[in-house]
Amino acid sequence: MGDSDPVSTTPHQDLPSPSLHYPYSNLGERRAHLLPSKPCRSQTSRLSSTDLSPPPLPQKTLSRTRSLPTSNTLHYSSGCSSLPKREYQSNPGQTSWEKLRRPLLESQSLEEIPYGRVSRSGPEPHRLTFATPDWELGHFFQDLDSAQEVYKVLRGRQLDSLRCIEKRLGARLAGPWPGRGGPGQVFRLLDSKPCAESGDAWYYRVVRITEDTWHLLAAKVHKPWSMACEPLDTEPPGLALQATLKPHFNVQSLCGQLPAGTLPEAPWQGPVALVAEVPTQTVADWVGANKELHRTCAGQYERQVCLLLLQLCGALKQLHVDSLGHGDLRPENLLLVAPRGQPTGTLPQLLLTNFARTRPLVPQLPAREDELQLGLLVYEMLGQGPVLAQARGASPPPLPIRSAYSLALARLAPHLLQAEPDSRPSVAQVRVALQTMLWGPGPKLQAQGLPLGPWLDIHRALLPLELAERLAGSGEAAGLEDWLCCQYLTEASHHMVGWALDFLWGELPAAGD
């Protein structure tokens, strides 16, 4: 090019590169530079056709017409959170139609969402709540015109709701753990006499004060466990093992130690352990205090026996999962505590304690010692301990039948007292049998051959309704027995319920087998 070339006269002008792409520019304006120069056209705007090739047309990417709602579209509530309040007042600046079409405006194509976030089965049932907007119901029900489809979704929602109720009830009954304390804590002894006495310890009520927090605890003063004179600071047997156990509602929980000399007025010497639950009596005390109730109201008493045994099986099941056997199931080693927030006279909370004889379980050799002691405990709680002791190894005497519960326990006890350990049912199986005794189904359902799946669906739907009606009527909140029933209905399957019915009402084992 010569010096008279108009392009060379503007050395600082930015020239477009031949490969430069203008996807959203005015193509007519760009192509005008390619036309022959007119006399009236300024030479500074003219570009040679050899300097710039025509820019390619913009490539438009077509997306699928299917779309998914964004994360802001569905206003779900978490499974166990409180139900959100329905907002009846609409925004003055937004019409109802604008609310309805907003999910469509905020939608995204399937290609814009990672594969892992695309749900193949729709929203989870527990996200369906009373406050779910009407236009979101289609995300939960594939066909609202199908009663079977609606029933299937609601059945899953009922089970999720029952699990949420069970979880909340358990947290409320257990309450917060008081912890192990810290520096600056002060203790006060409330009584000079023990509030309860178990087979291995006395219990005294103690208050622990930390800044503005007060905790009512129990000082566990162990009894002498040997004839020799042991030092005061010697750790009682089983206490170190108890400190390593997983938390459970029916296992006594340790929460620190009371150092020696902390309470000069205390009727003991040396350090003692602190437990979170304050017992009122043992199962042995409870059996002795309710003899008249057993005589006059056998059904009421024996139902409570089944509920206490059910709690014990829950604690033993946890131990067996950790490959531990208690080895000393006696009424003196089972404590009773008033449940948190429950009125006086309701079902007590059972606590398993005294782990001095706890031993590891050997998987290759199922001793089933706890199951055998559980069968002996059934006799003692029904007032037949002395009669069983007189048998002296012979066939156990039959239990007297005073109600439907003692009838079922009389069917259970012979299985637990089998001589061969392999013939005894496990603690987990005994727990299912007790649940079936308490809440059904009964032997009549088995005799009629009715399906067990619909029976479970019916009771899973009726239990929350009963709890709500009681709360709305008399203001009675759900208690410990309701929580145990929730556990049963959330865990049960028609297979395990069918096994329990066959186990309880099938053919009894022969004596001495």
Residue 221 lies in domain: 186-275
Does residue 452 have a pLDDT over 60? yes
- What was the pLDDT predicted at 113? 32
How many other C-beta atoms lie within 10 A of the C-beta of residue 209?
14
Question: What is the token pair recorded at 447?
Answer: 């005799």
Sole residue written with tokens 């410990």:
480
- What was the pLDDT predicted at 509? 65
CATH of the domain at 344: 1.10.510.10
**Which residues are bridge partners to 375 per DSSP?**
none
Q: What is the mean pLDDT of residues 377-395?
A: 85
Domain shared by 271 and 293, yes or no: no
Domain shared by 421 and 459, yes or no: yes
Does residue 4 have a pLDDT over 90? no
- What was the pLDDT predicted at 247? 94
- What was the pLDDT predicted at 508? 66
- Of residues 103 and 354, more confidently modeled: 354
Mean per-residue pLDDT over the chain, rounded:
78
- Where is the domain boundary, 275, 306, 332? 275
Domain shared by 255 and 154, yes or no: no
| C-alpha closest to that of 381 among 344, 421, 329 | 329
**pLDDT range class, residue 88, cuts 50, 70, 90:** very low
Domain assignment of residue 133, yes or no: yes
**pLDDT range class, residue 65, cuts 50, 70, 90:** very low
**pLDDT range class, residue 401, cuts 50, 70, 90:** very high
Q: What is the mean pLDDT of residues 149-174?
A: 90
Domain shared by 167 and 190, yes or no: no
- Please classify residue 219 by burial: count the beta carbons closer than 10 Å to its beta carbon, then call 0-12 exposed, 13-18 middle and 19+ buried: buried
What's the CA gap between 76 and 132, in Å, rounded?
A: 7
Question: What is the token pair recorded at 67?
Answer: 């779309």
- What was the pLDDT predicted at 9? 40
Sole residue written with tokens 């009236």:
40
Number of domains, the chain: 3
Domain assignment of residue 7, yes or no: no
**pLDDT range class, residue 309, cuts 50, 70, 90:** very high
Question: What is the token pair recorded at 443?
Answer: 């032997």
Question: What is the token pair recorded at 389?
Answer: 């002791």
Does residue 308 have a pLDDT over 90? yes
Least confident of 33-37, 83-87, 229-233, 435-439: 83-87
Q: What 3-state class would DSSP assign to 139? A: helix
- Of residues 433 and 229, more confidently modeled: 433
What's the CA gap between 352 and 312, in Å, rounded?
A: 7
Q: Which tens digit of pLDDT belongs to each residue from 316-348?
A: 999 999 999 999 999 999 999 998 888 888 999
What's the CA gap between 178 and 303, in Å, rounded?
A: 32
Do strands 196-197 and 349-352 pair parallel, antiparallel, or not at all (unpaired)?
A: unpaired
**pLDDT range class, residue 130, cuts 50, 70, 90:** confident
Does residue 70 have a pLDDT over 50? no
- Of residues 11 and 345, more confidently modeled: 345
Instruction: Judge whether 411 and 401 are in contact, CB under 8 Å.
Output: no
- Where is the domain boundary, 127, 142, 174? 174
Domain shared by 311 and 456, yes or no: yes
- Of residues 436 and 137, more confidently modeled: 436
DSSP 30-65: HHHTTSPPPTTS-GGG---TTT-PPPPPPPPPP--S
Domain assignment of residue 17, yes or no: no
- What was the pLDDT predicted at 507? 72
In the DSSP assignment, the letter for residue 229 is -
- What was the pLDDT predicted at 58? 56
Does residue 282 have a pLDDT over 90? yes
Domain shared by 215 and 242, yes or no: yes
Domain assignment of residue 434, yes or no: yes
What's the CA gap between 466 and 314, in Å, rounded?
A: 25
